[in-house]
């Protein structure tokens, strides 16, 4: 089979590509009224949004035309979740049923406020929401039910809506353990003692990641599991070694963890934005505003044994810089100065042309992607150098209105590209490239509604979308070509038949690849039936900072921080009653740390503090 098209890549985002309509449904193009986030719509409620029915011109400037506003992102997400629940559970619990006719006297399955009021949905906690939990365990719809059963993608649609913090601004995490506190001196003492017990030949490779900031913020120990899972998963997602390795629990509360750089190939030098670092840890420290050198008896011992000025980082602060952008690419061995095609062929050993000619490629295409502003094609290539999978997606260029995946199933221009591939340990790596095949940090085509600006970023957006692995796509090209076979020559028809698989066959491949990924994630001790803990931690850390969170990050109790707000920058005084933007807090973090830890036995670098407080 001849190679007829360009090489491109797979999906990032946080909503699956499986359309809710059946595969043989007529293709209906969404416009700005359906999805205000499409390119050219001007964003949610933006001036570029239009509807099929334009309002009549109004001459009187005091009158406002009755313009139909496009739905907000909250409305779109809630509608999608309600549609899943109505379609799969409505026959027994639908709002069209009288209360006494509904199973269990529940006739509000598609009414989100009612579900929340009756504790069927717990905002921000899909794993503890009965509606989601019972769909996941298969108890709802009940066995023997004649109605439809929700797919994994259907359940994820509901779970993602429940877990998205942007949709539940009035629901803060309940903190039940307000009196707990571990000082930074205690942290340094614990770590110095642990490091001292290790062989001197190993000490230079040992580093520490802590959850004590979250503990001090009032998060109860059992509720820290989400952050523990995020730490275990992100460390292994940033590894290019062949084995999954859990971080070592240093203390009984499991708030301090030790890692060995050699377990993840972090002891190698890397280059980030033209700067060469001795190892991965030093690159992370250089990027993190929360990496502040400490001095004192224990801090000095740690520095001497580990051979680095900063051997300790909060786990969430580490994740915040290491899991995105060019630092992420460097850690997983992706050279941003080369093209994606070069990475695929030279680093992954994939011969795209030969695979297409040999028919070793499978594809699916959709005009109804829920994470892309454009049509897209999904493709799987065999991964030659190791076990695992390589998937890629093609997003059509928005400025080429004449393109059609139905008329050109192989030859078309890409507006952006995304790739997902198995790392040596079985977890997933992600790459985004632009229309010129250059590796970039974010996409201007894909959507991530968990982000305030809706921009999809590597790798956080991709990890959030692929918490369970790879997402199935219902192909529209194969059925179309079958129905219009006289319009295609024999070679093209046979090529489509060979590459664009029936949905069932395509879904089986997706499932097999996803199960392999889930097994590797399980080895890290991380559950896969929930929303991705890495993106969860990232989004939580990047959210607005309240008094308790600020106190935890500064290593003190909320009461102590409140008593000393007058000694800090005036802009932080709002923390007494309000929240502050994370970026604003980060800008003042080191300065505030110097003030709050000035009398500690282990204190921030005095020269740095003198400079900041001058």
CA distances for 592 relative to 267, 271, 298, 566, 588, angstroms? 32, 31, 22, 11, 6
Encode pLDDT of 475-520 as tens digits: 888 888 888 888 888 888 888 888 998 888 998 999 999 999 999 9
* Alpha-carbon distances of 226 from 15, 130, 481, 526, rounded to whole Å: 21, 19, 46, 9
More confident residue, 94 or 437: 437
- Match 């030790």 to its residue by tokens: 258
Task: Order the strands of the 376-381 sheet from edge to edge.
Answer: 362-366, 376-381, 390-396, 414-422, 428-434, 439-440
Tens digit of each residue's pLDDT (9 = 90 or more) over 443-480? 765 656 566 656 778 888 888 888 888 887 888 888 88
Q: Give dist(CA 526, CA 245) in Å, integer.
A: 12
Average pLDDT taken over every residue of the chain: 83
Residue 546 has pLDDT above 50, yes or no: yes
Q: What is the phi-psi region of residue 308: left when phi exceeds 0, alpha when psi lies from -120 to 50, beta otherwise?
A: beta
pLDDT band at 278 (very low <50, low <70, confident <90, very high): very high
Domains of the chain: which residue ranges?
A: 73-167, 184-218+239-322+544-613, 331-534
Give the pLDDT mean for 233-260: 98
- Residue 6 pLDDT: 33
**pLDDT reading at 248 higher than 90:** yes
Tell me, what's the pLDDT at 449?
Answer: 57
Q: Is the pLDDT of residue 52 over 60?
A: no
pLDDT at residue 266 tops 80: yes
Of the spans 128-142, 270-284, 443-457, 465-479, which averages the highest pLDDT? 270-284
The total of other beta-carbon atoms located within 10 Å of residue 300's CB is: 14
pLDDT at 466: 87
Q: Region 167-178: what's the mean pLDDT? A: 70
- Is there a contact between 551 and 216 (Cβ–Cβ < 8 Å)? yes
> Which carries the bigger pLDDT value, residue 451 or residue 344?
344
Q: What are phi and psi of 392, to 5 degrees?
A: -145, 155
Work out the pLDDT band at 203, boundaries 50, 70, 90: very high
3-class SS string, 462-522: HHHHCCCCCCCCCCCHHHHHHHCHHHCCHHHHHHHHHHECCHHHHHHHHHHHHHHHHHHHH
Place of tokens 């994370």: 582
CB atoms within 10 A of CB 496: 20
């Amino acid at each position: 089979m001849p190679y007829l098209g360009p090489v491109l890549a797979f999906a990032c985002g946080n909503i699956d590509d499986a359309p809710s309509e059946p595969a043989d449904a007529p293709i209906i193009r969404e416009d700005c009224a359906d999805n205000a986030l499409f390119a050219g719509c001007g964003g949610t409620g933006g001036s570029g949004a239009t509807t099929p029915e334009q309002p009549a011109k109004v001459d009187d400037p005091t009158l406002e035309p009755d313009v139909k506003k496009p739905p907000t992102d909250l409305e779109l997400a809630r509608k999608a979740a309600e549609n899943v629940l109505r379609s799969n559970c409505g026959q027994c619990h639908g709002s069209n049923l009288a209360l006494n006719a509904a199973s269990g006297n529940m006739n509000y399955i598609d009414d989100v406020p009612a579900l929340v009021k009756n504790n069927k949905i717990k905002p921000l906690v899909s794993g503890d929401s009965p509606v989601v939990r019972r769909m996941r365990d298969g108890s709802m719809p009940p066995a023997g039910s004649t109605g439809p059963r929700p797919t994994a993608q259907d359940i994820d649609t509901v779970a993602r809506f429940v877990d998205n913090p942007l949709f539940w601004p009035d629901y803060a995490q309940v903190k039940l353990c307000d009196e707990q506190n571990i000082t930074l001196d205690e942290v340094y003492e614990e770590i110095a003692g642990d490091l001292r017990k290790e062989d001197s030949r190993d000490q230079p490779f040992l580093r520490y990641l802590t959850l004590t900031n979250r503990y001090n913020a009032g998060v109860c120990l059992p509720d820290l599991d989400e952050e523990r899972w995020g730490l275990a998963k992100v460390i292994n997602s940033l590894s290019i070694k062949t084995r999954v390795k859990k971080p070592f629990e240093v203390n009984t509360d499991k708030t301090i963890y030790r890692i060995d750089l050699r377990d993840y190939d972090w002891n190698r030098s890397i280059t980030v934005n033209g700067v060469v670092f001795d190892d991965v840890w030093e690159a992370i420290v250089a990027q993190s505003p929360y990496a502040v050198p400490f001095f004192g008896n224990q801090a000095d011992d740690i520095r001497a044994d580990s051979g680095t000025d900063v051997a300790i980082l909060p786990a969430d602060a580490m994740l915040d810089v290491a899991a995105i952008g060019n630092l992420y690419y460097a850690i997983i061995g992706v050279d941003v100065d080369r093209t994606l095609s070069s990475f695929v062929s030279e680093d992954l050993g994939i011969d795209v042309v030969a695979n297409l000619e040999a028919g070793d490629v499978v594809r699916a295409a959709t005009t109804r992607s829920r994470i892309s502003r454009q049509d897209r094609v999904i493709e799987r290539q065999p991964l030659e150098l190791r076990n695992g999978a390589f998937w890629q997606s093609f997003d059509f260029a928005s400025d080429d209105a004449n393109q059609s995946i139905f008329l050109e199933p192989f030859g078309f221009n890409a507006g952006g590209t995304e790739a997902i591939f198995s790392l040596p340990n079985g977890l997933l790596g992600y790459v985004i490239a632009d229309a010129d095949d250059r590796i970039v940090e974010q996409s201007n085509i894909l959507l991530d509604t968990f982000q305030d600006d809706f921009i999809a970023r590597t790798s956080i957006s991709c990890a959030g979308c692929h918490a369970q692995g790879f997402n199935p796509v219902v192909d529209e090209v194969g059925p179309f070509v079958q129905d219009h076979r006289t319009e295609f020559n024999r070679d093209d028809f046979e090529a489509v038949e060979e590459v664009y698989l029936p949905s069932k066959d395509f879904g089986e491949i997706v499932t097999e690849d996803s199960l392999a990924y889930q097994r590797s994630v399980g080895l890290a001790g991380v559950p896969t039936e929930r929303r991705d803990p890495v993106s969860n931690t990232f989004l939580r850390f990047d959210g607005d900072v309240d008094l308790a969170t600020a106190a935890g990050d500064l290593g003190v109790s909320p009461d102590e921080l409140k008593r000393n707000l007058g000694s800090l920058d005036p802009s932080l005084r709002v923390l007494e009653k309000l929240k502050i933007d994370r970026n604003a807090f980060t800008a003042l973090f080191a300065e505030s740390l110097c003030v709050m830890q000035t009398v500690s036995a282990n204190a921030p670098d005095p020269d740095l503090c003198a400079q900041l407080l001058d």
